[in-house]
DNA sequence: ATGAAAGCGCTAACAG
DNA sequence: CTGTTAGCGCTTTCAT
């Protein structure tokens, strides 16, 4: 489209190499010719072709990000933080969405690698040894968040199990007669990587072990909304433990149509602490997934890997936090 | 990193051109050699270098998107829809955020163009003739959303003025004695492109013209939250007209800390119809910005421009919709 | 201080 | 049906 170094060379009556020296500031060059070249470059609005540069340098200063979607508050917040970090470091981010599709995720990663992104951050729905080999075969440093993929793949997140154990404990000590564990993503267990949710489930059971007298129910498919109301039919004091704030919000909305209000008629907790909660009352009790800290750490780890070329499977586990609300 | 066509050629004992023919499916080639090449390509996990291809073809099948941020519900929804459309068409999106920074926006666009994206969608904070020339100078089809940039730059959006006029009309007919127009972005008028908000303001005044007896107040800076309460001090029936749902939500949250509830103690409307509203009660009256339709149309228009090479400043104005809530 | 030449990996025009 | 050659725009030795 625009003007090239070749054109500039011709315009200034010098070689392309000299033009390059002027523009890049590398090597010795006569200040006057440099002046001239820079001036004509500006005049003609010269802009380097980043594809060509990337091709020869082997670096693009682009980072690839692959996540489920962007309408999800959790990812939106994460992308915001990652984006800010990238801007700060002079990198761009290449965001792609996999929409819970395992093969699509893989294709997106391949494509990004083929575009020579310098690093990848992925919230994966794949897992296992084979996938680990695929990832290392990409030849690009990868950091995973949310779901663990396999040993050897760097990971950043919180201790999901402990977090769920703690929040469950807080609920149990309130004397509920029944707790309903709401986790529709578990429906995909064995089909997609849902390790985050499996870990939380373990934490839940660990906490429940201490209170065998309390009845537990598990709603783990996407029709959960049709079953929340019936949990309250017999008048037992019931709490819903939702593994995402969105499930909690949806449940509260649904129950409200039947005149049932959180805290008064039932207990409920969420997970993630998405910012939507600020506007909803009663304030939902939840667990902070520390999304900002996770994003920052993921970027930090990625740049470390990119710098060292060391693709060892180091992981970072960040602290979580129980957010006391009004719904328990 | 990986294997190249040159390596494949050597492995199969043919020329790179033949390899290319096998891989691209262009031109005549002996089925057996093709077979061989494809097989060894697969065996060695050959993946084409997309930078190199982009360099020579002049097309990358990437689209650049530049918006304010991604934590904003409105943009998150838009990006989701655009992303789905892109996947459908085999394109990737390159998302960059400008964070209300005019120069950063320009830099991001330059960078994306330098990476040879095939098209650009931008929600700009710049405007005017000079910027229009900058954009056309990029040599890449551009479609703008939200803020109009200048005549000649394709635009997709709704009729902001009419939308605000209508919703204001609905409020006025409810007999409020005072309406408070809440639009902090107007503080940046003359500094950044806020044409969306200027258009809405015109619509507001147009509607108010019919009811000169009603007192109007304009809160147009970011300290608006500190001034909402005092508007209700004298007991006059007051409604807040917010130019974004987020301002309305923030106001409701703030007023709630003083025991004041929407609909009972004051009226309030929003703008955009972000999905957060589904979870907040009372249901906010708002205007649907038709974000999904806008995103779809923007992508459609962009691909048309990319196809025709015709960069004429065609615009698409989509219908809006008043969402009746419980807050007026 | 400057230039010539080779190369990144792929594609395309032209021969054979 | 296949190979040779040239070129995308930039960077990088290696001479001069």
CATH at residue B31 = 1.10.260.40
Quickly tell me which residue has 């950043």 as its tokens.
A156
State both tokens at A165. 């154990």
* pLDDT exceeds cutoff 70 at A130: yes
Q: Strand C: which nucleotides have any atom within 7 A of a protein Cβ?
A: 1-5, 7-13
* C1’ C6 / CA B30, Å: 33
Tell me the average pLDDT across A205-220. 94
- State the DSSP code for B226: G
Which of the four pLDDT bands, split at 50, 70 and 90, describes residue A1?
Answer: low
pLDDT of residue B141: 95
Residues B23 and B134 in one domain: no
Residues B184 and B256 in one domain: yes
Predicted confidence at residue B309, as pLDDT, reads 67
Do both A97 and A18 map to the same domain? Answer: no
**Is A328 part of any domain?**
no
Q: Which residues contact A80 (CB under 8 A, 6 or more apart)?
A: B69, B70, B71, B97
Q: Which residues in chain B are closer than 8 Å to A256, comparing Cβ atoms?
A: 281
Residue A55 domain-assigned? no
Residue A206: predicted pLDDT: 96
Subunit contact A280:B280, Cβ cutoff 8 A: yes
Among the partner residues B95, B253, B278, nearest to A253 by beta-carbon distance:
B278
What pLDDT score does A308 carry? 83
Residue nearest to nucleotide C1 (CA to C1'): A29
CA A58 to C1' C12, whole Å: 24
pLDDT-derived band at A320, boundaries 50, 70, 90: very high
- What pLDDT score was predicted for residue A132? 96
Pair (A242, A100) in one structural domain? no
pLDDT means over runs of 10, chain B (328 residues): 90 93 91 93 95 95 95 92 93 93 96 96 97 95 96 96 97 95 97 97 95 94 96 95 97 96 96 95 95 96 88 87 96
Residue A309 has pLDDT above 70, yes or no: no
CA distance B95 to B73: 15
Q: How far is the CA of A20 from the C1' of C3 (A)?
A: 12
Nearest CA in chain A to B59: A51
Q: Does any strand D atom come closer than 7 Å to the Cβ of B53?
A: no
> Would residue A325 count as lying in a domain?
no
Assess whether A233 and A146 both reside in one domain: no
- What are the strands of the beta sheet with A267-269, ordered from one edge? A215-219, A178-182, A238-242, A267-269
pLDDT for A91 equals 94
Strand order in the sheet with A92-97: A92-97, A62-67, A119-122, A142-145, A155-158, A315-318
Per the structure, the complete domain to which residue A110 belongs is given by: 60-158+291-320
Residues of B whose CB is below 8 A from A137: 45
Give the residue ranges of DSSP H helices in chain A: 5-12, 16-24, 31-43, 50-57, 73-89, 102-114, 129-137, 160-172, 195-208, 245-256, 291-308
Query: Residue B280, SS3?
Result: coil
Count of domains in chain B?
Answer: 3
User: CA-to-CA distance for A196 and A158, rounded, in angstroms?
Assistant: 10
Q: Identify whether residues B176 and B114 lie together within a single domain.
A: no
Question: Residue B141 corresponds to which tokens in the numbers above?
Answer: 């089809």
List CB contacts (< 8 A) between A278 and chain B.
253
Closest nucleotide to the alpha carbon of B15, via C1': D3
pLDDT-based confidence at residue A314 (cuts at 50, 70, 90): confident
Please give the pLDDT value at position B159. 97
A69, A92, A115 member nearest B80 (Cβ): A69
CATH code (residue A244): 3.40.50.2300
Answer yes or no: is pLDDT of A311 > 70: no
Q: How many CB atoms lie within 10 A of CB A301?
A: 21
Tell me the angle at which helices A5-12 and A31-43 cross, rounded to the nearest 10 degrees: 120
Q: Could you check: is the Cβ of residue A5 within 7 Å of any atom of nucleic acid strand D?
A: yes
Provide the pairing of β-strand A62-67 with B286-288.
unpaired
Residue B1 tokens, joined: 């990193």
* Predicted TM-score of the model (pTM): 0.94
A289: distance to nearest CA of chain B, Å? Answer: 16
Does residue B131 sit in the same domain as residue B235? no
């Amino acid at each position: 489209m625009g003007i090239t170094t070749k054109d500039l060379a011709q315009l200034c009556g010098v070689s392309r190499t000299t033009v390059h020296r002027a523009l890049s500031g590398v090597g010795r060059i006569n200040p006057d010719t440099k002046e001239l070249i820079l001036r004509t470059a500006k005049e003609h609005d010269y802009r380097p072709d980043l594809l060509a540069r990337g091709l020869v340098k082997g670096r693009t200063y682009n980072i690839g990000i692959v996540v489920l979607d962007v309408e999800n508050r959790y990812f939106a917040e994460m992308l915001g933080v990652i984006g800010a970090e990238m801007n700060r470091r002079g990198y761009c981010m290449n965001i792609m969405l996999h929409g819970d599709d395992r093969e699509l995720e893989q294709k997106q990663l391949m494509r990004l690698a083929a575009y020579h992104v310098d690093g990848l951050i992925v919230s994966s729905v794949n897992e296992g040894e084979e996938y680990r080999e695929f990832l290392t075969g990409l030849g690009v440093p990868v950091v995973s968040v949310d779901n663990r993929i396999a040993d050897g793949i760097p990971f950043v997140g919180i201790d999901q199990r402990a977090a769920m154990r703690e929040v469950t404990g807080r609920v149990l000590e309130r004397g509920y007669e029944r707790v309903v564990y709401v986790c529709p993503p578990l429906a995909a267990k064995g089909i997609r990587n849902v390790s985050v949710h499996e870990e939380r489930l373990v934490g839940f059971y660990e906490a429940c072990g201490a209170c065998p007298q309390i009845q537990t129910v598990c709603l783990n498919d996407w029709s959960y909304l049709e079953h929340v109301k019936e949990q309250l039919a017999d008048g037992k004091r019931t709490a819903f433990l939702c593994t995402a704030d969105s499930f909690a919000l949806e449940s509260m909305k649904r129950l409200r149509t039947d005149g049932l209000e959180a805290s008064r008629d039932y207990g409920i907790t969420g997970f993630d602490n998405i910012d939507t909660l600020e506007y909803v009352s009663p304030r939902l009790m939840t667990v902070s997934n520390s999304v900002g800290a996770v994003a920052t750490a993921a970027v930090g780890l990625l740049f470390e890997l990119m710098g060292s070329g060391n693709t060892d499977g180091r992981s970072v586990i960040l602290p979580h936090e129980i957010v006391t609300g009004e719904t328990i």
